[in-house]
A and B are shown apart, each in its own frame.
Chain A
Amino acid sequence: MRSQAVDHIALLPLYAAAGTAVLALLADLFAGRRPVTVAVTLLGALATAVCAFAVVPANPTFCATGGCSWVPTSSAAVAAALFAVLTAGVLAFSMPALRLGAAPAGEYCFLLACSMTGGVTVSYAGDLLTLIVGLETLTLPLYVLAGLRRFAPTERPSTRPAEAAVTFFLISVVSTAIALLGIALNYAATGTVHLALLGPAPVPFAALAGVGAALLVIGLAFKVAAVPLHAWAPSTYDGAPIPIAAYLSTASKLGGVLALAAIVARLDTGAVLSALAVLTMTVGNLVALRQSRMVRLLAWSSVAQAGYILAALAMGATGVPAALAYAAFFVVLELVAFGVVVALRPATLPASAGQSGGTSADFDGGTFGDYRGAARRHPWLGAAFVLAFAGLAGLPPGLAGLFAKVSVVEALVAEGWIWLAAVVVVNAVIALAYYVRVAALLYTVPAQPGIAVTDPALVYDATHPRLPVSRPVAAALLAATVVAAILGFAPQLLFDALT
């Protein structure tokens, strides 16, 4: 028996990603200095992105009869590059925390790079098993990262990060088991795992295949936090460090969307997905209205955003381009939003919070009250935040978000799913209520002190020092904002890259 021919050129992005993880570990072992480890990981992530674009016209590899397991397409390259860039961005956002020693730099970088490797695998996966392995590689390091937090000696340790990690772990393992059961049933009915060969099962097994497809979709729906399988998301996001929450709601969600897209393009799951979509966006938006903590709001809003993506996916193959475009626009805007939150929140615990018995874990994202008037101190951060939130709401000046919404609604209308399009646009109105509330809060004049003072502005400045934004965070945020702005004016770049 002849061994399978492997085209190593096509695997280059994977090698780059996995090599990054190994190098990060080695750098930590031999150099042992934080800047070196972080720099190696950043460069590795960027190299992965470059490799992804460099090998676009490669041949599929790991081919068996009828199907290949590694399919380098143009949209796969975009997705892989997005994973790499998101990893680099999240690492940059983590720098202040790493500098303070809130997490061990070597392990942190290694785990993040492993996650990136999983993301790259998901992007190129050509069969269901590679897809699941990729997804697990993407999420497994995140269980640890969500709970990876060292407390300063002066701090009272909190169990919240650990709770977040365990919740996430349990739910995720269960969902993977369900997805695997779905794959198994589908294999039993159709005898195939390759995506290219997936399709309707022969008549006696049609019911079995249907159940398999439904279970697979439900298992993956956990990953994108679709209602009613979303309960883990808000508490996990809020308990995890903010950069990891950003990674969960961008890269991890993108992985789920890619996996779902690969399946719905071949199997008929419209009924399950449209029900999930309606529930997800409606519940996500309605619950987001009631939030008072920033990261929880972002978590619920990202649940709702997943609903719009699911709505496009419910149409099957015709909705996939719109869903992928929406996902790409969404992760960029979401990264900007989280970046602003990272930049506005101090990495250290202020003395006052420590005295009142709080821990840095409670302090992380903060409540809305902590953001009051923040844009008056940091006009640029305020502008980036408005761009991100307007985009998430689908309004100018966040043109990227507007085009995302138009592409989903246009696809729905073109396929005659006008009722679902109507649900999407009604939800856009509900969502605006909380986006605009929070964005306006940043510009609100801060509450006056209770006592009469001659110069309230001076008192305000004294009690609200203008915290410097650390350089890596600022650079990553600037890059993400520029990308969001460019995509807003030239969205065709993305649409072209995805086809």
Chain B
Amino acid sequence: MYRDYLEPAWALPQVLLVALLAVPALGAIVVALLPAARDRQARLVATGFAAVTFVLSIATVLSRQMESGWATYGDRVVSPLLPWAEVDLPWVPALGLEFHLGVDGVSYPLIVLTGLLTLLCCAYTVKKVPDGGSGRALAALLLVLEVGVLGTFLALDLILFFLFFEVVLLPMYAVIAGWGGPRRRAAARKFVLYTLAGSVLLLLGVLIVVTGAGTGDLVTLTGSTELSRATQCTVFALLALAFAVKAPLWPLHTWLPDAHTEAPTVGSVILAGVLLKMGTYGLIRVGVGVAPEGAEWAAPVLGALAVAAIVAGSLICLRQTELKRLIAYSSVGHMGFVLLGIATLSITGIQAALVGNVAHGLITGLLFFLAGTIKDRTGTGSLNQLSGLRETAPRLAGLFAFAAIASLGLPGLAGFWGEAFAVIAAVQRGGPLWITLAAVAAVGGALTAAYFLRLLRQLTHGPATPAVRAVNPAISRVEWLAWAPLVLLTLAVGVVPALVLDGTFQPLTTLLGVRP
């Protein structure tokens, strides 16, 4: 009669976490199995599953408890990582793999972002399927991608984290290779080989930690001092390389422009909006969390590379003549700011990185939606042939201008906080190196404004080209449906960044091992 007390509690939060992965997985299977004749219904079903997942992803906040406990830990230098909710089941004891999921303030915004963007992309495919394959296969792949990304953000076990990190590889390859542009094969192959090269380094790093510390449990490992300094440096070097490929950090970014240029619109949105975040999230959660001394050791290099990425991304963007390629390179610059924030290893910096992550997901997602629409309607992505869009399609041009201005970091919109506070965190860190980095990053920020304004002048102003004159200016309902949430959230996060940052302070103190 004591058995009831021994069994793991299956309260609502645990069910919620498992459902968050099970619903899209089930959805993918159902959608893939529907017959070809019911393609449109299948896409609607996919949207339904994505909507349920989105609701579930928001609902995880319900399991959040009041966080007044950390101050009472007394003498302990750091309080332990306290997820809002977690579920921990044994899966493969022989490999030390546990099915350990959890959500906290750091992962919550990204989980919601993933739910939202997948929902919007699924809704978008209901109306418009890119050439190349059936719409239901694409919708099913989007749901599989969602499983992988959500799993990565939820995983609290290192090997499980690696497993979900790998889940996205082949579906994303299939999305690019199946529904992409004319040079999709080469782009898709480059994407999959680059990112696999990154994730095998992750595997090495993860296994060195697991065998060294005897556990893969992130709750135990975060902020613990189990690993020696030398091990931490090796591990952090491996992990940083792995995540730098995914993020991507200059000079490992070369797969990104090709993948973005060739990918279909929904593929670009998911890739920029959530897949890249797996890299930066991993760096915060696993890299900094498991090997803080290694992070401290590598921080100057990471910071310098991040700043190089900002400047290089901006300079390359100034010379771009292809719309999607330009936005892709702008991602390199934005992720540079995020990585600079992480490299400062301060609470301000990492909060800037988290806000930057979400802002980039919203804004670049919107930009890729708009760029894809423009490319579809005009039949070209070449900036030489695009001009005067505001004359023929004022609404589209207006939305694009909004997204571009948000992306260049206008205060009051989401893009501002991440970039400004990354620079502030670098200044706060002090010392000649970090002050220099902050200054150069600020110049890079100015260059960002320069190329976005140049882009706007080129695209929306001036005389309308033949390609633009033929454009259909109407924006359909599905398009409004897909874009409006991104526009509104860009505004909302811009005005109230606490939407993202609320609840990040306590986990970050644990992560960085500082006294709150």
Residues of A at the B interface (CB closer than 8 Å) are 386, 390, 395-397, 399, 402-403, 405-407, 409-410, 413-414, 418, 421-422, 425-426, 428-429, 432-433, 436-437, 440, 443, 445, 491-492, 495-496
Contacts and interface: CB of A to CB of B under 8 A. Distances in A.
B322 interface: no
B207 interface: yes
10 contacts: A410-B96, A413-B207, A422-B204, A429-B196, A436-B170, A436-B192, A437-B189, A440-B188, A491-B94, A495-B92
Given A436-B173, A436-B192, A495-B93, 16 more contacts: A395-B166, A406-B159, A413-B208, A414-B211, A418-B208, A421-B207, A422-B204, A426-B200, A428-B200, A429-B196, A433-B193, A436-B189, A440-B185, A445-B132, A492-B94, A495-B94
B92 A491 contact: yes
B204 A395 contact: no
Contacts of A405: 203
Contacts of A409: 203-204, 207
Contacts of B201: 425
B94 A421 contact: no
B150 to A, nearest CB: 14
A425 B96 CA distance: 19
B197 interface: yes
Query: Quick one: which of A418, A429, A491, A492 has the most chain B CB within 10 A?
Result: A429
Given A429-B193, A432-B193, A396 B167 contact: yes
A356 to B, nearest CB: 30
A200 to B, nearest CB: 28
| Most chain B CB within a 10 A radius of its CB, from A386, A410, A437, A496 | A410
Interface SS of chain B: helix
A436 B171 CA distance: 11
A418 B163 contact: no
Interface size class of B (residues with CB under 8 A): 35 or more
B203 A406 contact: yes
A406 B96 CA distance: 11
The 3 closest A-B pairs by CB, nearest first: A495-B94, A425-B200, A414-B211
Contacts of B196: 395, 428-429, 432
A410 B207 contact: yes
B354 interface: no
A429 B163 CA distance: 16
A325 B19 CA distance: 31
Contacts of A406: 95, 97, 159, 162, 203, 207
B80 interface: no
Q: Which label, helix, strand, loop or mixed, suits the secondary structure of the A interface?
A: helix
Contacts, number: 88
A124 B132 CA distance: 53
Contact of B178 (A386, A390, A418, A443): A443
B169 interface: yes
B424 interface: no
Contact of A429 (B133, B188, B197): B197
B229 to A, nearest CB: 17
A428 B202 CA distance: 13
Given A432-B192, A436-B173, A402 B166 contact: yes
Contacts of B486: none
Interface string B172-210: 011001100000010011001100110011011001101
Nearest to B90: A492
A399 B201 CA distance: 18
Given A396-B167, A436-B189, A407 B94 contact: yes
Given A407-B94, A491-B92, A492-B92, A433 B207 contact: no
B91 interface: yes
Contacts of B192: 432, 436
A402 B200 CA distance: 11
Nearest to B93: A492
Contacts of A425: 200-201, 203-204
Contacts of A422: 204
B94 A413 contact: no
Contacts of B208: 413, 418
A429 B197 CA distance: 6
A399 B196 CA distance: 15
A397 B141 CA distance: 12
A434 to B, nearest CB: 11
Q: Which of B159, B178, B200, B204 has the most CB of A within 10 A?
A: B200
A433 B189 contact: yes
Q: Which of B92, B94, B189, B192 has the most CB of A within 10 A?
A: B94
Contact of B170 (A395, A410, A413, A429): A395
Nearest to B36: A379
B506 to A, nearest CB: 33
A433 B190 CA distance: 9
A495 B96 CA distance: 12
B92 A402 contact: no
Contacts of A403: 92, 95
A420 B46 CA distance: 44
B200 A410 contact: no
Contacts of B93: 492, 495
Contacts of B177: 440
Contact of A407 (B95, B170, B188): B95
Interface in B9-40: none
Contacts of A492: 91-94
Nearest to A433: B193
A484 B207 CA distance: 24
A433 B173 CA distance: 12
Nearest to B167: A396
Contacts of B188: 440
A475 B204 CA distance: 39
Contacts of A396: 148, 163, 166-167, 169-170
Contacts of B163: 396, 399, 402
Contacts of A445: 132
Pick from B95, B163, B167, B174 the residue with the most CB of A within 10 Å: B95
A460 to B, nearest CB: 15
Which of the listed residues A390, A406, A418 has the most CB atoms from chain B within 10 Å of its own CB? A406
A414 B167 CA distance: 25
Contacts of B197: 429
Nearest to A386: B170
Contacts of B173: 436, 440
Contacts of B95: 403, 406-407, 410, 491, 495
Contacts of A413: 204, 207-208, 211
A89 B325 CA distance: 50
Interface string B97-122: 10000000000000000000000000
